[in-house]
A and B are shown apart, each in its own frame.
Chain A
Amino acid sequence: MSIFIDEHTQVLVQGITGKQGSFHTRQMLAYGTKIAGGISPGKSSQTVEGVPVYDTVFAAVEKQPVDASILFIPAPFAKDAALEALDAGVKIIVLIPEHIPLHDAMEIMAYAGHKGAIVVGPNTFGLVSSGSCKIGIMPNQYFIPGPVGVVSRSGTLCYEIVGHLTANSIGTTTVVGLGGDRVVGLNFIDVLKEFEKDQATEAVILVGEIGGSSEEEAAAFIAASMSKPVVAYLAGRSAPPGKRMGHAGAIIERGTGTFESKVKALSEAGVVVADLPANLPRLVKSALT
């Protein structure tokens, strides 16, 4: 079991003929993801890794049903590609690129809302239902099936944490990267709700960071509506106010989004916050028993 995606999910790759697009198509296929087709305007006679290439998303969905699309498209053109997939009826959009303009992201999210679709990202590593379907750019070997759901705002830090789990023989149901931008599609609460419903998920790890208020909002949700144990790790304890730490969202402004306010909110909601990533396997194990 898993959330959002599984072994039946049919995936499109927009920008499949590019360097990133073709490389990660190969990686996703190796993981076992069902790739229905790729999109690259003007290159419809080609195949990439045996996957048929179409000019438009509409052309691809005429041929077979499509559940999700992953975008390897340069930021200035990402809005157009995302809207195309949404308009063609794709219900899960995974936006890998970073530096998508904020107003473009807002337009994508609004349209997705009207279409009843889910957007993951932008500036995300994607999502993976361990052992069955990976729609993203994360290294394959760390994502083994197991009972823990993981939701994270950052990429490599999430690999670090899942790496610690794997080293301790703890697998995952689904791992979702929300993305590091100020406006992203899925948020913690959207994902926590699904983990709460998912029978295979027994505990959840939340990986957050300074800036914004999504961890505080997640804490309120956990306190009110989660029966499953949640443990957390938060990055940015040492960050000075007013400096943006790489992620557009990771900036402490006007006293909001501080490390302390997030730890406090989560602790009050009964979430154990780990001091170090290496402590998470132990905390998860004790939550599972």
Chain B
Amino acid sequence: MKLYEYLGKKLFYRYDIPVPHGKLVESAEEAAEAAAELGEVVIKSQVLTGKRGKAGGIAFASSSVEAENEAERIFKMALNGLPVEKLLVEEKLQIDQELYLALTVDGTARCPVVLASLDGGMDVEDVAEERMIKWPVDITIGLQDYMVREICRLMDIKDDLKKEFIKFLPKLYRLFRELDAELAEINPLALTPSGLVAADAKVTIDDDALYRHPQLPRIKEKTALELKAEELDLAYVELDGDIAVMANGAGITMATLDMVQHYGGAPANFLDFGGGADVEKTSQALELLLGTEPKVLLINIFGGITRCDVVAEAFVRVRESKGITLPVSFRLVGTNEAEGRAILEKEGIKTFTSMDDAVRHAVELTGTT
């Protein structure tokens, strides 16, 4: 779960990480009021997308009139298709130097990693490899002071900044660990006359660990159908095509989409209804798919934990209750395959045993409807 900048900064504040003075506003008038209070300000759109600056979603203002005008302009924008509903109005910092600092998970090393650079403020991808210090942390001992000193040496940090940095980094590590973060990134980390300040905050919390953080807000950046799928505990992603796809398992669902494209079709979605789903859950998954109004339905089942008869029964049930008329291409093999096929055949529904055949048939069907 990605957090808005203002929420990330709230968490920083709680962990004693300095952030600029600021106010969250929802109207241009409020922005003007905030500017009157704070003086010279920076106005930042609160949307979950990168490169807000380049897109015009960040502005500076030196008066409340200017702040009001800029806020009005930004509220009318959509950044990467996302509407701007909130702005963060903050004091403009006097920045002597911009650094980059992040904690994230190194999947290859299977541990937390500190990323630190003296080249902050720019796209992290643009930082030269040798200027980005990467320090993997053994999670069983955590971030120790000697590690921070070593990171400072590798960064070639000057003495007074070093003192600041040695105080700063352990706080971010503590936040990262205690809040089950996947990412806690500060870019830029601003060196001001009063010390290091987190000028930005990008925090992502591990979805699988949210259950132990009831105090954190829940942020949704999904479409209505994706939210519905989440409620049903289905992995669902909307795509642009017209063949609705349902399969069991993330890898095989992806492979099914690839094959649809390989044979010249366009998938409407990714839907992995997981392993071992019962009739009820399978029916819900099917109903969800029909809600997207596809031209063709493609079902690809390789039953391991998932039982073919359960899927067949769910399909028949949904077909009866919803009156499915759209053409279906059904592939069914694995656990209880014969039982599943029998249920469908009784209803006059043909099944395939080969994934290739089923996908090809589905693509052919889009041409005929």
Contact = CB atoms under 8 A, between A and B. Distances in A.
Interface of A: 75-76, 99-107, 109-111, 114, 125, 137-139, 152-160, 163, 180, 182-185, 187, 207, 209-210, 212-214, 217, 233, 235-240, 243-250, 254-255, 275-278
A213 B108 contact: yes
Interface in B313-361: 333-335, 354-356
A128 B247 CA distance: 24
B249 interface: yes
B302 interface: yes
A207 B206 contact: no
Given A101-B180, A102-B180, A277-B255, A159 B208 contact: no
A209 B254 contact: yes
A180 B253 CA distance: 13
B55 interface: no
B139 interface: yes
Interface SS, A side? loop
Interface stretch (B29-37, B57-65, B257-265): B257-265
11 contacts: A101-B209, A106-B139, A157-B254, A214-B108, A235-B251, A238-B267, A239-B254, A245-B270, A276-B259, A276-B356, A277-B255
A243 B237 contact: yes
A228 to B, nearest CB: 23
A240 B239 contact: yes
B259 A138 contact: no
Nearest to A210: B254
Nearest to A254: B125
B209 A155 contact: no
B235 A246 contact: yes
Nearest to A108: B110
B237 A244 contact: yes
A100 B208 contact: yes
B255 A160 contact: yes
Most A CB contacts (10 A, CB to CB) among B108, B112, B180, B250 go to B250
A160 B355 contact: yes
Most A CB contacts (10 A, CB to CB) among B112, B206, B208, B305 go to B208
Contacts of B235: 244-246
For the complex of A and B, 7 pairs with smallest distance between CB atoms: A154-B251, A246-B250, A156-B249, A157-B251, A101-B209, A246-B235, A235-B254
A153 B237 CA distance: 20
A139 B110 contact: no
B177 interface: yes
Interface SS, B side? mixed
Contacts of B334: 139, 159
Given A244-B237, A245-B270, A275-B262, A183 B249 contact: no
B288 to A, nearest CB: 15
B251 A247 contact: yes
Contacts of B252: 154, 156-157, 159-160, 235
Contacts of A163: 302, 333
Contacts of B211: 76
A103 B255 contact: no
A75 B206 CA distance: 13
B248 interface: yes
Nearest to B210: A101
A246 B105 contact: no
B107 interface: yes
A103 B304 contact: no
A249 B251 contact: no
A107 to B, nearest CB: 6
Given A110-B111, A278-B354, 15 more contacts: A76-B211, A109-B111, A137-B304, A139-B304, A153-B251, A154-B251, A159-B304, A187-B108, A236-B258, A237-B258, A237-B261, A239-B254, A246-B250, A276-B259, A276-B262
B182 interface: yes
A201 to B, nearest CB: 22
Interface string B182-193: 100000000000
